[in-house]
């Protein structure tokens, strides 16, 4: 906790997300959070914020003494290096998702958090969505009994070819370290582990450049197995329109479906496991109630909710919604899916992080992929 009543924040990386966060802070949407400095290697990106102290290098911002806290919003690989530097400089640190590209880097980043007085959080804004919060609380309360099966179809991450040609680093092993799993899905993978815990085994089919001219995965089907015997399926792609975002959960107390901002609960009058053992007819089913669980309008405070929580954690010791240490799990899931596809076999968790880092390094070194020339518009090159 600082003694100041205001937290001075520095944002490193003024791309889409950094710029969006900066505007919200300048607009006063985050009480007690002040945008004190920004950094980007691309000077054009700093021009919109002339009145804010700025740096071309994130490391200079970190060392400048102008901020109490840092938000790292750069491309993926530098989350690790800048996050470590920020923590080592004694600054509160908020890292965009994914916290790192692979499990070993996550471990290095998390190991740098030695001072528990520093607030260390990750931008998992979807944890503020009331639907997912409700599902988590229903499970934790015991209302649903044990979870038996999960099916998450999250294929509404449609991106056009233009998206991938708009940035030279995009969708490359060297630039992003993966495709839909590393860029779009960290939120979903985080919610998956946050709500259901980690699986013990992952078997995945990843398709590389199936829908787009890219070298990384743009379509994934993964089977998950949990320690208690529960099963899961996670399906994602950037190649589908309109796509689907539907989370189905079968549990001892019936079924939950989260889709289109609604949470529908088909509640069995008896635990399914009990009914099955005691029914005197082979085809009988337990009675059910159709329950619509009301949710607040909208999808929660999202990014601003995480920024408020980060600020309040610094000023008042508020519990974090998304501690950065938990960010390793979504990375481990993404890595495990890719590893399973590379090796064409199931992957047991915990993942061997060193083995995965070696495979990823080889992908980068052996890459022969050449970004196609962009038609119209400029290529925005990787600036970190």
d(CA 28, CA 157): 30
Inter-residue contact 204 to 224 (CB < 8 Å): no
Least distance to a second copy from the beta carbon of 234, Å? 10
Structure tokens at 176: 């992003």
Least distance to a second copy from the beta carbon of 32, Å? 32
| Residue nearer to a second copy on the CB measure, 92 or 253 | 253
* Binding segment (CB under 8 A) for a second copy, from list 25-33, 61-69, 133-141, 340-348: 340-348
d(CA 98, CA 110): 13
* Binding segment (CB under 8 A) for a second copy, from list 111-119, 180-188, 217-225, 358-366: 217-225
d(CA 121, CA 313): 10
Fill in the per-residue mask, 235 to 254: x = in contact with a second copy (CB under 8 A), - = not in contact.
x-x-xxxxxx---x-x---x
d(CA 189, CA 209): 21
Least distance to a second copy from the beta carbon of 341, Å? 11
Inter-residue contact 142 to 252 (CB < 8 Å): no
Residue 318 interacting with a second copy (CB under 8 A): no
49 contacts: CB under 8 Å, gap ≥ 6 = 14, 22, 26, 35, 38
Least distance to a second copy from the beta carbon of 272, Å? 5
From candidates 282, 292, 365, 368, binder to a second copy by CB under 8 A: 282
Inter-residue contact 124 to 321 (CB < 8 Å): yes
Query: 228, 232, 123, 190: which is closest to 334 by C-alpha?
Result: 190
Fill in the per-residue mask, 121 to 160: x = in contact with a second copy (CB under 8 A), - = not in contact.
---------------------------xx-x-x-x--xxx
Residue 210 interacting with a second copy (CB under 8 A): yes
Least distance to a second copy from the beta carbon of 34, Å? 31
d(CA 250, CA 208): 31
Read out DSSP for 254-295?
Answer: EEEEEETTEEEEEEESS-HHHHHHH-SSSS----EEEEE---
Residue 276 interacting with a second copy (CB under 8 A): yes
Using CB under 8 A as the binding criterion, the count of chain residues that bind a second copy stands at 59
Residues that bind a second copy (CB under 8 A): 148-149, 151, 153, 155, 158-164, 166, 203, 205, 207, 210-212, 219, 221, 223, 225, 229, 231, 233, 235, 237, 239-244, 248, 250, 254-255, 266, 268, 272-273, 275-277, 279-286, 288, 344-346, 376-377
């Amino acid at each position: 906790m600082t003694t100041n009543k205001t937290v001075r924040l520095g944002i490193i990386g003024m791309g889409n997300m950094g710029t969006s966060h900066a505007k919200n802070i300048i607009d006063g949407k985050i009480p007690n959070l002040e945008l004190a400095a920004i950094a980007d290697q691309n000077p054009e990106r700093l021009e919109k914020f002339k009145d804010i102290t700025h740096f071309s290098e994130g490391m200079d911002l970190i060392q400048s003494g102008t901020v109490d806290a840092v938000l790292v919003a750069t491309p993926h690989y530098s989350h690790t290096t800048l996050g470590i530097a920020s923590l080592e400089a004694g600054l509160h640190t908020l890292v965009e998702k994914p916290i790192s590209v692979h499990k070993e880097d996550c471990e290095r980043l998390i190991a740098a958090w030695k001072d528990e007085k520093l607030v260390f959080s990750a931008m998992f804004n979807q944890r503020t969505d009331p639907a997912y919060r409700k599902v988590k609380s229903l499970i934790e309360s015991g209302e649903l009994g044990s979870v038996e099966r999960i099916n998450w179809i999250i294929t509404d991450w449609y991106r056009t070819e233009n998206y991938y040609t708009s940035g030279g680093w995009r969708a490359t092993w060297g630039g992003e370290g993966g495709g839909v799993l590393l860029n779009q899905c960290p939120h979903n993978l985080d919610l998956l582990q946050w709500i259901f815990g980690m699986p013990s085994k992952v078997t995945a089919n990843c398709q590389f450049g199936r829908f787009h001219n890219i070298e990384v995965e743009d379509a994934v089907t993964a089977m998950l197995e949990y320690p208690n015997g529960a099963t899961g399926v996670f399906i994602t792609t950037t190649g589908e329109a309109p796509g689907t975002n539907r989370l189905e959960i079968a549990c001892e107390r019936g079924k939950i479906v989260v889709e289109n901002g609604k949470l529908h609960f088909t509640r069995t009058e008896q635990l399914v496991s009990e009914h099955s053992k005691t029914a005197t007819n082979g085809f009988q089913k337990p009675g059910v109630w159709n329950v619509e669980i009301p949710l607040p309008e909208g999808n929660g405070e999202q990014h601003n909710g995480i920024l408020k929580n980060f600020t309040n954690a610094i000023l008042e010791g508020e519990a974090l919604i998304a501690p950065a240490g938990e960010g390793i799990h979504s990375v481990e899931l993404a890595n495990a899916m890719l590893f399973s596809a590379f090796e064409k076999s199931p992957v047991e968790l915990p993942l061997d992080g060193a083995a995965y880092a070696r495979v990823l390094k080889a992908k980068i070194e052996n890459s022969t992929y050449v970004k196609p020339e962009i038609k119209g518009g400029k290529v925005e090159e990787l600036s970190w």
